[in-house]
Amino acid sequence: MDAVGYVRELGRRARGAQRLLARSGREVKDRALLATAEALDAARRELLRANERDLGAARAAGLGEALLDRLEITPARIDAMIEGLSQVAALPDPVGEVERLQVRPSGIRVGRMRVPIGVVAIVYESRPNVTVDAASLCLKAGNAAILRGGSEALHSNQALAACIARGLAAAGLPEGAVQVVDTTDRAVVGALVSSPEWIDLVVPRGGRGLIERIAAEARVPVLKHLDGNCHVYVDDRADLDKALAIALNAKTQRYGVCNAMETLLVAEGVAAAFLPAAAEAFAAAGVELRGCPRTRALVDCRPAGEEDWRAEYLAPILAVRVVKDLDEAIEHIARYGSGHTEAIVTEDWERAWRFLREVDSSSVMVNASTRFADGFEYGLGAEIGISTDRLHARGPVGLEGLTTQKWVVLGDGQIRT
């Protein structure tokens, strides 16, 4: 079958399942999630065996250690998937919630009801756990899911898909509720993202290459997550102890994550008081600094160039710039930032408020580490990704971002005059 025909079959089954899912109550969806957890627990041996096939092929193909690590399913990772399913089952069901019901002068009551989006396609790379994480969030939000994982994880994903199918069956839900693509034909991705008749939303999860390719080809809405070039601005009214703790945490708590700080901006009024101590702390943590000329007048480091202001290092490297004031910090972020997450450290609430209002990023923070930009930290329970798009959902996207709202009108015979 060609890719278009294959996607049409997936799409038909997904559309068929979608209506039943949309009206399924919480207990049915949670039963499917918990039964999937049980199926994973019962299938540990098969999962490891299937994963070993993928790992063997990947080793034979000469894949690097980082990729092999991402691809690997371990007993602890199975535990984490099982735990994730329980967590999603424990989340409140967003579907059917009615918000802001108000009485209008005509006498009608108007509100908004939260409803599933419909059919969501997730396109991801080598981590097989995404299969279970994405399926569970889509299912709880009442969406049918079509999952297309990395070709190197094909056998692992099929083994996980079998567990999900058992979970769906245990709850009486149709197989079309979660479908895992079982071909490595890359044309299937192209057909998925250009089929608005079958797919309502595509969520790509992976490297920049994958996301840009999908965004360029897509004829359906895409929830994408591009770079995280995050900034911390230390204002001259900052508490410098807080500033140091936040800057260190934002850079060093984890390096390879999109909400790590990549550029530190320091107001000139506190540069001399702050930067030498900060440089010492970063040096102790093994972080290489790259500074503007005024930074380099205070601390010994390599010069930063234009490309450093734009870099998402994802590594123990930090660009540092001394700025005149809040305005220059906001200006720097507007020019070089990626719209992900920025923080100001200040005790001046007027300036804090200006930063909150004027910095155009999906998360804007006062006196907190950028590392908090995360679905769990925000109370979403879990996240399908962090959107750097502007519409529908920005920042960490959880269950609510996988739903939409419709208007509901409750009357008792009103007509329009």
Q: How far is the CB of 395 from a second copy (least distance, A)?
A: 5
CB nearer to a second copy: give 64 or 413.
413
Q: Which of residues 323-352 bind a second copy (CB under 8 A)?
A: 334, 343, 352
Strand, helix or coil for residue 202: strand
Dihedral sign computed on CA atoms, order 145, 148, 152, 158: positive
- β-pairing, 109-116 with 98-103? antiparallel
Tally of CB atoms within 10 A around 358:
14
CA distance 342 to 13: 42
> Phi, psi at residue 255, to the nearest 5°?
-90, -35
Binding of a second copy at residue 55 (CB under 8 A)?
A: no
Contact 213, 246 (CB under 8 A): no
* Cα distance between residue 254 and residue 208, in whole Å: 19
| Cα–Cα distance measured from residue 68 to residue 76, given in angstroms and rounded to the nearest whole number | 16
Residue 18 vs 157, nearer CB to a second copy:
18
| Per CB under 8 A, 407 contacts a second copy | yes
Amino acid at 158: Q
In the stretch 360-399, what mask flags binding to a second copy with x, by CB under 8 A?
xxxxxxxxxx-xxx---xxx----------xxx-xxx---
**Residue 22 vs 57, nearer CB to a second copy:** 22
Q: What's the distance, CA 263 to chain centroid?
A: 21
Residues 248-287 contacting a second copy, CB under 8 A = 248-250, 253
Q: Binding to a second copy (CB under 8 A): which residues in 196-215?
A: 200-201
**Residue nearer to a second copy on the CB measure, 45 or 335:** 335
Of 160 and 220, the one with the shorter C-beta distance to a second copy is 220
> What tokens does 265 get?
């901006």
Element (H, E) at 303: strand 302-303
Determine, following the binding rule CB under 8 A, whether residue 289 of this chain makes contact with a second copy.
Answer: no
Q: Which of residues 213-232 bind a second copy (CB under 8 A)?
A: 221
Nearer to a second copy, 43 or 218 (CB): 218
Provide the residue type at 121 as one letter.
Answer: A
CA 210-222-80 angle, to 5 degrees, is 70
List of long-range contacts for 58-64, beta carbons under 8 Å, 24+ apart? 58/152, 61/152, 63/152
C-alpha 397/C-alpha 386 separation (Å) is 6
Residue 152 vs 374, nearer CB to a second copy = 374
90 binds a second copy, rule: CB under 8 A:
no
CB of residue 86 vs a second copy: minimum separation in angstroms?
Answer: 19
Secondary structure (3-state) at 114: strand
Closest distance of CB 158 from a second copy, Å: 30
Are 146 and 124 in contact by the 8 Å Cβ rule? The answer is no
Contact region for a second copy (CB under 8 A) — 100-108, 126-134, 157-165, 182-190?
100-108
80, 89, 271, 275, 288 from 281: Cα distances, Å: 34, 42, 15, 10, 11
Choose the binding region for a second copy from 109-117, 126-134, 160-168, 169-177 (rule: CB under 8 A): 109-117
- Applying CB under 8 A, does 110 fall inside the site for a second copy? yes
State the minimum distance, in angstroms, from the CB of residue 310 to a second copy: 16
Residue number, 160 or 238, with CB nearest to a second copy: 238
**Taking CB under 8 A as the rule, does residue 28 contact a second copy?**
no
> C-beta of 221: minimal distance to a second copy in Å?
5
Q: Which spans of this chain sit near a second copy (rule: CB under 8 A)?
A: 19, 22-23, 96, 102, 104, 106, 108, 110, 113, 115, 117-118, 200-201, 221, 239, 241-242, 245-246, 248-250, 253, 334, 343, 352, 356-358, 360-369, 371-373, 377-379, 390-392, 394-396, 404-416
